[in-house]
Structure 1
Amino acid sequence: MVLMVGGCANVRLPAIDPSGQHILLPPPNYTTLNTAHQKATGEGHRCRLFRKNRNDADLAFQSPSTPPNCQQSAIMPSGNPALPELDPIPADPVAPRVITVGTCQQPQEAAEDANRGCFGNTRTASDPQSVVSLAPREQVAMVGSEVVLLAGVCRSDGYFVKREPLEWALAQGSVGNFVDPGQTFVGKLGLRGRVSEIFAEPLPEMVSNNYAVGITSNKTQVLTRGTVVTTDDVIVQSGQAWIGVTSPVEGTSYVTVMAPALDGWEQRTQTVVVQWVDAQWEMPPSAIINGNQPHTLTTKVTRKLSGAAATNYVVNYQILDPTATFSDGSTSSDVPVDTNGLASIQVRPISPNGGTTRVSVQVVRPARGQFDRLTLGQGEAALTWTTSQVAAQIRGPQSVSLNESARYELEVRNTGTLAADNVLLRALVPAGFELLSASIQPQTTGGRLDWTIGTLGPSESRLIEVTYRASQSGTARHCVSVQYPGAMPIEDCLTTQVTAEALFIEMLGPNPDVPLPVGQEILYQVSVTNRSDRRLSGVLLSDRFDAGLQHSSGASPLEWAIGSLGPRETRKVGLRFRTLAPGKHCHVLEVTASDAPPARTNACVTVAAQAQPDVSINKTGPNQMVVGQEQEFLIVVKNTSNTPISNLQVIDTYDPEFRFVRAEPQEANSGPQGIMWYITRLGPGESQTFRVTCQAMFDVRQACTRSFVRGPGGLERTDQHCLAILPGSSAPGNFTPNSPRTIGPPPGAVPLPGTSALPSRGAPRDDDLSRARQPDGELQVTIGGRGDRWQVGDTVAYQVTVRNNRPVADRDVVLTISLPSQATLVDYAGTVAAAETFGDRTLRMVPVRTLRPGESVSFEVTARLVTPGQLVAAARATSQRVPEGVTSQDVAMATS
């Protein structure tokens, strides 16, 4: 050992402390006399004292011992293909961090290692200098994780140099720190570590958290992550060194490795950049969507350390297939992560038939400051829309003889990928055809045949056969349609020519499926045609109708003489009926001639029972009051029927213990004992609320307020609310009871049947009249249509009000309403009737005999828009005091 130290090893002496605080620096600080190093030869430290005068290749081959069973080979960092996958072998309970590859190395791997060289480089002598190799050169890692960096000195022949010293350093301003400077192979007995001081060959050492020294390994090593599988292991080749880097915060680490024994700065240094990100994410899953509704993809991005939302990140979504788009029509979008850590986007299918689209999802850190845009992770979601596509088809003969039977096939088929529920197949029996039979019995409604198919699975079909008899010549159009929830009806039609006799009759009228009210007038247009080439004489038209229909000419049957019809001549007549009772009512029309067989057709209508109007009233208020206290009572009037109600009176009365204070909306009439409002029209299900404030005047055990609502036909409902009035500390200040006054209908109106005015006990107080709003002291008229833009076909309801703002009464108030030229009158309602109507656009109401100060009358006129253009509706009011009249207009626009 003495000879080895004196003759071959580098001489290492304690280093002198330059600060002067100590004589010598403590280990591992040494002064080294390098006596045996050969610069850039790649041989490292050679001890010629112990070398024998022969080459290593002169050694005789010795048979190795039987190797133990090996685990699956780890993946090399060079990216070469892995060996065929083997069954994994369970790892030890505690997996070692470093495994030295020895006899367990497979022969194929050994052959690859012999030719791989420095990070997969092949042998070459083009560059005679040795250089430092570092991998990976750029890395993205999660904060808190550990990144393993590999480095080595690559000789000109493409192989690493073993036992070569390296120095690792983190640049200033970098985040993170070193964790482990790696290990070297110290031999089976571990002697190399104990004699390293003698050979001046230091072991890897962590000098500080940003500076470390190491040495390239003499053997191949495997760095494990403590898992059973070997696919995540890192291979450290012979002649490489490694170091671990970690960071608890986001940022960038710049790690430089230097080989001090090499000449030239560019050859002996390399730098790697590690980007640390504090984010973790959950990619959206693939989905199968029933129907064509949009689907929302959501990616969750949170901080790894705190779990908070990573709001400074975005998620890039990109549609890869042309079968869908995002909600804005694009195929690529960056979605910021919100405060909940979610980035969502909606995907809509393009085709109504559904399909599959792939969406690429990337979690991205946007560019900011000195950092470029960085993709952290990516995935892909597949969205499949399954839809039901149900179609109907009819097949049958193109021609048939009169009075002969014809068979038709009706088929319904689902060509989609989703089952369709509640499928209904419908066929219309053409005019002049009669149903004889069907393979599946339909539900018959007039000339309509319905089959309830139910659920129709993907690629499933149903076939129904029907047989008709052609009872009328001419061209018949057979149509069949299929409908199911969520889809428009799909129709298929077939035309059949019936070889005709001379007479042909056709009747057009109302839809038999649309219910009509009792008393409705219905009109049929009848066409009688001679399809022959000869003149027909003695043509007679007759109609037999049910008792639920009434004709002005008399009872059923009725006959009309048409006379004669020339060849191919058509005669048109009209039939007008009135419905008398609810139910289904039909009539049969027949035409005969003296020299031709008869022709007939029929039609039916459905008459609905007339709905009875009904209304409810609900009165609510406080449970108790104190003398002198003011409280509010609510009155809610609601139309509980399915038909609108017009001209309703709402009356609110109260016991003498109360004094009326105010009402909202303003009452039409008021008095000390009661107030009244008028409701022009209340639609089905609509309600109107009235608020009344009263003052408690006297203490009493129970005092009540009562509300009434009265309508046409004796309709009347009532409700009351009772409460106790407690004594107060003092009586009301200056209130003097007044005599109540009569509550009646508005001026110029006639009380409704079954209604009556309240008992009259005096005239109203002057202060009651002073509460009327007087904006300008004149007669005022207003008209409004509740909107400024409409479409043709819309119904516009104009509200018209005439108000006397004078302090004195006015008489003979006449209101004239002019509708726009683009509209036609539908209905009107108000407290008085219309005296005259001019065409269907102008109404003049019955004059109001007396309009007292502050009182008003209101009307509602309903019109339907028939043409586009500017809509100008006008209302004009004249009176005895304002004979020149006042006018108001409402201007709007109608578009097609």
Structure 2
Amino acid sequence: AASVDVLTDAAGQARAEIFQKQPASGTNRICVQVIKSVGATAGDGRQLIIGSGMTTVTWTSAATAQPPTTTPAVPGMPTTPSAPGTPAIPGAAWLDVKTTGPTQVNVGGKVTFRITVTNRGTATARNLVIRVRFDSGLEHEQATGIIERSLGDLPAGHARIIEIAFRAVKPGKLCHIVEVTGDGGLRATDQSCVNGVTAATPGTTYPPTVPQLPGKIEPKTPTVPEPAKPVLQVTVSVRKIAPHGQAGARQERPDSLDRRRGELFSVGDWAAFYIKVTNTGTQTLSNVTVVADHDSPLSPEMATEGNKRIGNSLTWLIASMPPGEAYALESHCECKSVSARACLRVRAKAASGAQAEAEACVQIGPAAGPTIGPKLPGDVTTAAPLDLVISDLFDPIALGGLQTYVITVTNLGQVPDRNVRLTVTLPPQMTLEKLGVTGPTALEPVVGRTVRFEPAPELRPGKENKLEYRVRAWAKQPGKAIARAEVTSLNNPQPKSDEAETTVVMSP
């Protein structure tokens, strides 16, 4: 490919004449770059690309007697994708964006568009960001008006496909504009529209009571409008989890315990209540108050951060809930006394007046402890294993969110234990937040993703003497993130371990 350098004049303009070496009809694509020298001295040679564009010129044969036509270039916005074999500007990235999708959708239906971002240049496109602006007639389950997401780097000749789904809420022409930008002034846009139509509701005929005459039209059942759906929804489920004072057991997720519905709880068991609050409407809700009232046999011992406890009630305040947004809250309770029906009742109410409530109940029976026989001569009291539990307060968590891991260590024996040392290994998807690390002992120097605490001199028996640590970390990569905790002591030199699994999801 031929190239020419032209300096701009005092008015910032540059002119270049193009001619054919051999007369021939056809169309040529012409790529333009605006380059600024950034060297401190003459001959430094360093350059910075501050803009780019593309145009075309069409050559016609003499028989047609048509002058050459050109398509004006728009800086940073290629008007057409480069065809295979078209020479690109040496050492430069070149973006092309194409959006495809259906042309028609019923109002209330879902429509999915596919966005293809292609680097047609010869260099890697750095730090790409995609922004999607959409009409009010389109509704996204997590965003309102604009969606922004980082795409990272895109090597030359590579493409990246992003799918985005909307729900049509209005009839008419519904459009969205896609813009992709990157370092060095890279920019490309595309627009796609869909026609929202109102689906006709077919009528229902009454059954005939007399023989029908030819051509007789049966009356239609009057259309009854559907009742308005609630804009605030609350669900509560409960599962038995590993007691925070029992060795060897670990916390289980609610989706793994469906087979244990109806299980009887006993005094001393732990019940985990999982609360989900969802905005099912089309408008953002503000100042949503969530109140969880526990019956007296249930004692809330651990709960999602941000709660305010008064007696046996926990209250959270959600400042803003966009349409489709769901918040997950948890309350971990110890069963304190026998009860035929002990419930957690949840009430959620927004500033707009929208409200919802739900409950989950358990049956608590007497404690079923082991039978203890008389002590035989020569019996010696030995140290029981330490109990170690690590749990995450947020699951799932959005990319860029701050996760809190709570780790407890309990001595279940009858004699004190010494030199209790805790080690926490963070998953690759997480980055430690040192200011959020707390515990009964000081933090040792951090090595990689491993967090170690100085040994606790003594740990007395009993749940009331348990050691509690908190480790916070930022979610930096999407996927399954598993944090691991290990504890050793003088009486337990073999490490005891537990894990907590968190799902990191992409931010809207």
TM score, norm. by length of structure 2:
0.30
Between 1 and 2, higher relative CO (CA 8 Å, sep ≥ 6) is seen in 2
Q: Which has the larger radius of gyration?
A: 1
